[in-house]
Amino acid sequence: MRDLLIGAPVFWIRDQYVAPTCLAVALLAWFTPVRWWQGRLLEWADASGLSVYAVFGTIKALAWGVPVAPAILMGVVTGCVGGIIRDVLAGRPSILMRPELYVTAAALAAALAAAGITLGLSASLSWALAAAAGFTLRGAAIHWSLGLPAHNGPEGADRA
């Protein structure tokens, strides 16, 4: 999605190892016992992927000359689209429709990555700090069930 939006070659089509790796992991997940995926392991793995991919998406967008604010949005898209697809395929309400801190964690990671690059900090240090911050926020949301307050809609709509 990000690559199409910024005009970059779609990386997984050009790299001969990405598709087979994804298929192998999908088969592995399909044939593992369900009890392995129960609990919070999958949520923590998703938190890691969310923050890392938000940083990668931002970095790639900036490398392709995208201005900072849209590059941060590309990072958020990169981090969040996988979770949305997962929810759709699993028949669950999308993570975007729940009050959990998900997009916010991706936005934090993406913004910190862009800030580090813009300020001229060491790339590896700023990327690691950005990913760690996004993971920490998402992890806190998982651990303490943190979320944003729900929007109540237009004033008086519930009285109609």
Give the start-to-end residue ranges of the domains of the chain. 42-145
Q: What is the pLDDT of residues 13-49, one digit of tens each?
A: 889 999 999 899 889 988 988 888 777 888 999 999 9
pTM higher than the cut 0.75: yes
3-class secondary structure, 100: strand
* 114 vs 5: which has the higher pLDDT: 114
3-class secondary structure, 39: coil
Q: What is the pLDDT of residues 61-85, one digit of tens each?
A: 999 999 999 999 999 999 999 888 8
pLDDT at 157: 53
- Give the integer Cα–Cα distance in Å for 136 and 147: 14
